[in-house]
Amino acid sequence: MSERESAEGDGLNDIERTDKEHVFGTWSYQKEVSPTQVVDADGVRFTTADGDEYIDFSSQLMCSNLGHSADRIADAVDEQMRDAAYVSPGYTTENRAKLGEKLAEITPGELSKTFLSTSGTEAVEAAIKIARFYTGKQKIISRYRSYHGATYGSISVTGDPRRLESEPGIPGTIKAPDPYAYGSTLDPMESVEYIDEMLELEGDTVAAILVEPIVGSNGILVPPEEYLPRLKEVAHDHGALLICDEVMAGFGRTGEWFGCDVFDVEPDIMTMAKGLTGAYQPLGATIVTPEIADHFEENMLCHGHTYAGHPAAVAAGRAAIDIYQEENLIERASEVGEYLGDRIDELADRHPSVGDTRGVGLFRGIELTKHPEKRVPFGERADKISPGSTVVDEVSATAADHGTYVANMINTLIIAPPLTITEDEIDEAIAAIDAGLEVSDDAMEH
């Protein structure tokens, strides 16, 4: 890939420089922000203004599950925008009603009524409020290795270091240990019993336990089969609800519709966003059981947004679910996901700096280590908000030099390609990561 040059010496073109000057980069020291202009995206690939083409091996922010440039969704949005671009949430549209019905159909068990919003963080905010209103209790237990969003409620239940600058956050949030077999001294099943004890010690004050059924940005942590069923039992034994945050794991990523389907567990409340529209429009959703829904017949649901159920966004959501269903993308993710898993295992065999590989379907992580026996992470990026290392950044950068975009977080490469990816495209991306891992191999402790 070409080295970028510019008269200003910052490597940015005019558009990128204008963007950097006038638009904040998220989760960043602004002086380090270096936006890259994307001019085209099609299928599993995107192209930058330089003309460089990349395989999108992380679906951008783990959200472009359907790949890029699906005309059918663009047409559905276009048609809705021309018919009625916006109606207040007190009105409805055919797309909104049909999307609600579809969500009841594809989500597990009896989950049936959905609160609509515009993002994952808002879906989590709604879940927290609904759980508090319904149970009349205030506390939410969530886990350390988790991300639930950036607004105040959801950053307060987030466990990873991104929460630190926003603390103390909202009252009543408690963090629990994680099912992280590779990196924690606690066995994953012991960690559930720990939560059981926490609930006991908190008395009857906990509204809900909130978890990502398969942890996403904190390193693709897949708990043992018995973990989530036991967690639901523990919650219910103490009069607390189970909320599954499916914002990243949902919509086929795991080879099932939702992460909790992998464990055959029906939560009381489930949050969705990202893959819900395949990222063609911003849309969040919080679905609840009929029992919880009934509560709000006589008790006011004190929550809402101007753009709740925005016509264009729900049109995209409805069209996206049609595509998942008609193109059998969930089954496809499971099949192609097996192939991806095998290819990743080969990388682990070849590269000593691969400490652990985890995941299911097209939702996989490669955790790096500088010392495999002691499981020591690379830790040079001395930054309490975005821990990890310059080494894992260099692995991603080298993969990009070889034509593949792969995100990373906390020493882990986050592999989550569009569900439409082919085995040949996987091979291409794996070859790029193979080259990247040479860098981490060279950086190991000897």
Residues that bind ligand PLP (CB under 6 A): 119-121, 124, 147-149, 212, 216-217, 245, 247-248, 273
How big, in percent rounded to 5, are the helix, strand and coil portions of the chain? 40, 15, 40
Nearer to ligand PLP, 391 or 417 (CB): 417
Helix, strand or coil, per DSSP, at residue 208: strand
Nearer to ligand PLP, 320 or 432 (CB): 320
Which tokens is 286 given? Answer: 């919080």
- Shortest Å distance, C-beta 247 to ligand PLP: 3
H/E stretch holding 242 = strand 241-245
Q: Classify residue 308 by its DSSP letter.
A: T
156 vs 169: CA distance, rounded Å: 5
- Shortest Å distance, C-beta 246 to ligand PLP: 7
- Shortest Å distance, C-beta 136 to ligand PLP: 25
Nearer to ligand PLP, 212 or 428 (CB): 212
Place of tokens 């509560």: 295
Nearer to ligand PLP, 207 or 210 (CB): 210
Q: Classify residue 27 by its DSSP letter.
A: T
Nearer to ligand PLP, 216 or 436 (CB): 216
The runs of H, that is alpha helices, within 219-370 are 227-237, 290-298, 311-326, 329-350
Packed helices 227-237 and 188-202: angle between N→C axes, nearest 10 degrees:
10
Q: CA torsion, points 30, 34, 40, 41, in degrees to nearest 10?
A: -80
Nearer to ligand PLP, 62 or 293 (CB): 62
- Shortest Å distance, C-beta 140 to ligand PLP: 14
What Rg, from alpha-carbon coordinates, does the chain have? 22
Amino acid (one-letter) located at 337: G
Nearer to ligand PLP, 286 or 440 (CB): 286
Is residue 190 within 8 A of residue 228, CB to CB? The reply is: no
- Shortest Å distance, C-beta 379 to ligand PLP: 23
Q: Which residue is nearest to ligand PLP (CB)?
A: 120
Pairing of strands 45-48, 38-42: antiparallel
The neighbour count for residue 200, using CB atoms within 10 Å, is 11
**Residue 423 bridge partners (DSSP):** none
- Shortest Å distance, C-beta 367 to ligand PLP: 18
- Shortest Å distance, C-beta 11 to ligand PLP: 27
Nearer to ligand PLP, 147 or 370 (CB): 147
- Shortest Å distance, C-beta 85 to ligand PLP: 22
